[in-house]
């Protein structure tokens, strides 16, 4: 028999058929939030679960838009995020992104960016999107007809845009620092964004809200970002999410579960109805956030020095999304712990996501060596490595130097037989996770697949 929860959802939203409702476990409806249900929906795929988890966070952030906000001094924090999946070719980054975008579209979300665009076209599209009301459209290039009245622009709804770019280099453009700079500025922009086009026409974007979920390989990442991009605001506003291939193989992947899909759409519409307005924080949650903010020690990698200044904003955004998934308008202690756990684990892997980007000479080759050793199931000999890398180096001494540096940096370990002085081979050195600031991280909230072979 259907539970009261099912009957209430059916009568309110009229989305699911009677047959579909009866086929879903009632405990799922009563006990699980959107993020948990999404992991069930995507369970039978070849994608890393950590990519699916971040996809669920990203699409919920886009769905929320500027419906909710957290007061933050003179400003407000919104749940929008910039994320980039980075992994080897074949890690199924595109699959994870496309599944999430398809669900969002099915739920009725319409503000998707073009897969490939130019900087000015993107800004024009954002401005026009805000002017599309019902069946009426306003040409952004003729907006001067309205004059410069601030009342006109202030009365407009927020300009939202979701960028699910599985090939993010096509969207931003390789080395396009100008576009990156604008995207960085729009990450937390408040008010009316004014941009002058090359033809001297002003574009006004009311209350911009952008979410990005991109995909990239290490090679593509190195092409997208020139080394000087590390100093840009866009770089510190982007979360780099790394995962390794799961090894799962489906000759023909199982069909999506239509019942779970309908249920997720119901959850999204319930979130839209219930989670709105100004968000509060319970005293317990505030105390936890205060401890994290004042005691967080940073990432042991100089490339993330600027990220440290944005870390608190990233955490608050994740808290908003986690809270919304549970149909609340108040951030509670459990929301902070979940958000900080996911963010802390992401940070553990962010140096690996960047590989050798922005480092010393031979950085690309060093990264290739690291990837080869990481994928090995047994110690890799110097001879095997030289056969793999000899076309990229002039001398064997260069490979010896790279291996020595990686060993000193605790990236790999040299396997030296007893009584010998020369390594018999090399293996990756798996770092041991700690609990960070006591009581702020719970690794049990992540799955064994996500935690992988990095020791607890």
Instruction: Give all domains of the chain, ordered by start, each with its CATH number.
Output: 32-355 (3.40.50.300), 363-428 (1.10.10)
The DSSP element (H or E) to which 268 belongs, if any, is helix 258-274
- Separation of alpha carbons 370 and 244, rounded Å: 13
Strand partners, 352: none
Q: Is 361 exposed, middle or buried (0-12, 13-18, 19+ CB in 10 A)?
A: exposed
Spatial distance between the Cα atoms of 174 and 180, rounded to a whole number of angstroms: 10
How far apart, in whole angstroms, are the C-alpha atoms of residue 194 and residue 438?
45
The tokens for 43 are 């369970």
Q: Which long-range contacts (CB under 8 A, 24 or more apart) does 284-288 make?
A: 284/332, 284/333, 285/319, 285/331, 285/332, 285/333, 285/335, 285/336, 288/333, 288/336, 288/337, 288/340, 288/439, 288/440
What's phi and psi for 161, nearest 5 deg?
Answer: -155, 130
Minimal CA–CA distance to 84: which of 260, 189, 208, 225? Answer: 225
Task: Let me know: does 83 contact 238? Beta carbons within 8 Å.
Answer: yes
Calpha distance 344→445 (Å, rounded): 12
Per residue in 277-324, pLDDT (tens digit) is 999 999 999 999 999 999 998 887 888 888 999 999 999 999 999 999
Rounded to whole angstroms, the maximal C-alpha distance in the chain is 85
Question: Burial of 193 by CB count in 10 Å (0-12 exposed, 13-18 middle, 19+ buried)?
Answer: buried
Taking the C-alpha atoms of residue 143 and residue 293, their distance in angstroms, rounded to an integer, is 44
Whether the Cβ atoms of residue 455 and residue 433 lie closer than 8 Å to each other = yes
* Tokens matching residue 266: 């119901």
Residue 167 DSSP one-character state: T
Evaluate whether 306 touches 236 at the Cβ level (below 8 Å): yes
Contact 37, 263 (CB under 8 A): yes
Return d(Cα 153, Cα 193) in angstroms, integer. 10
Cα 20 → chain centroid = 32
Give 291's contacts (C-beta < 8 A, 6+ positions apart): 437, 439, 440
Mean per-residue pLDDT pooled into runs of 10, the chain (456 residues): 41 41 46 91 95 98 96 95 93 96 96 90 86 50 48 76 94 91 93 83 89 93 84 90 91 93 95 96 96 89 87 97 97 97 94 71 71 79 88 85 79 81 80 65 92 66
The SS3 call for residue 175 is coil
| pLDDT score, position 238 | 94
CA–centroid distance for 193 within its chain: 25
At residue 321, φ and ψ (nearest 5 deg) are: -70, -45
- Taking Cα atoms as reference points, which of 166, 59, 163, 177 lies closest to residue 117? 163
């Amino acid at each position: 028999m259907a539970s009261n929860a099912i009957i209430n959802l059916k009568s309110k939203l009229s989305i699911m058929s009677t047959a579909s409702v009866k086929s879903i476990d009632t405990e799922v409806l009563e006990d699980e939030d959107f993020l948990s249900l999404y992991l069930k929906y995507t369970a039978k795929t070849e994608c890393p679960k950590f990519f699916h988890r971040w996809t669920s966070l990203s699409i919920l952030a886009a769905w929320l838009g500027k419906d909710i906000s957290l007061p933050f001094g003179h400003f407000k924090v919104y749940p929008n995020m910039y994320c980039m999946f980075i992994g080897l070719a074949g890690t199924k980054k595109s699959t994870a992104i496309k599944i999430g975008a398809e669900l969002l579209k099915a739920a009725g979300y319409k503000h998707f960016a073009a897969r490939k665009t130019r900087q000015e076209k993107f800004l024009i599209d954002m401005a026009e999107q805000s002017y599309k009301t019902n069946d009426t459209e306003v040409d952004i290039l003729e907006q001067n007809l309205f004059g410069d009245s601030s009342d006109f622009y202030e009365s407009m709804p927020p300009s939202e845009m979701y960028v699910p770019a599985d090939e993010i280099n096509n969207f931003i453009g390789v080395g396009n620092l100008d576009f990156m700079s604008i995207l960085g500025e729009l990450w937390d922009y408040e008010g009316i964004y004014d941009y002058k086009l090359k033809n001297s026409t002003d574009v006004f974007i009311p209350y911009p809200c952008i979410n990005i979920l991109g995909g990239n390989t290490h090679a593509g990442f190195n092409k997208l970002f020139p080394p000087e991009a590390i100093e840009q605001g866009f770089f510190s506003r982007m979360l780099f999410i790394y995962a390794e291939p799961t090894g799962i193989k489906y000759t023909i992947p199982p069909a999506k579960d239509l019942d779970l899909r309908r249920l997720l759409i119901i959850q999204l519409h319930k979130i839209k109805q219930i989670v709105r307005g100004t968000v509060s924080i319970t005293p317990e949650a505030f105390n936890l956030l205060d401890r994290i903010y004042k005691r967080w020690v940073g990432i042991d990698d100089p490339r993330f020095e600027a990220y440290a200044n944005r870390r608190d904003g990233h955490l608050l955004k994740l808290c908003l999304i986690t809270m919304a998934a549970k149909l609340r308008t108040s951030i509670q202690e459990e929301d902070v712990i979940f958000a900080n756990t996911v963010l802390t684990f992401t940070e553990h892997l962010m140096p690996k996501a960047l590989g050798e980007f922005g480092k010393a000479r031979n950085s690309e080759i060093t990264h290739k060596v690291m990837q080869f050793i990481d994928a090995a199931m047994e110690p890799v000999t110097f001879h095997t490595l030289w056969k793999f890398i000899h076309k990229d180096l002039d001398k064997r001494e260069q490979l010896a130097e790279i291996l020595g540096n990686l060993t000193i940096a605790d990236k790999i370990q040299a396997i030296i037989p007893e009584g010998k002085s020369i390594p018999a081979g090399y293996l990756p050195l798996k770092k041991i996770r700690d609990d960070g600031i006591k009581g702020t991280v719970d690794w049990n909230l992540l799955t064994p697949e996500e935690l992988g072979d990095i020791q607890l």
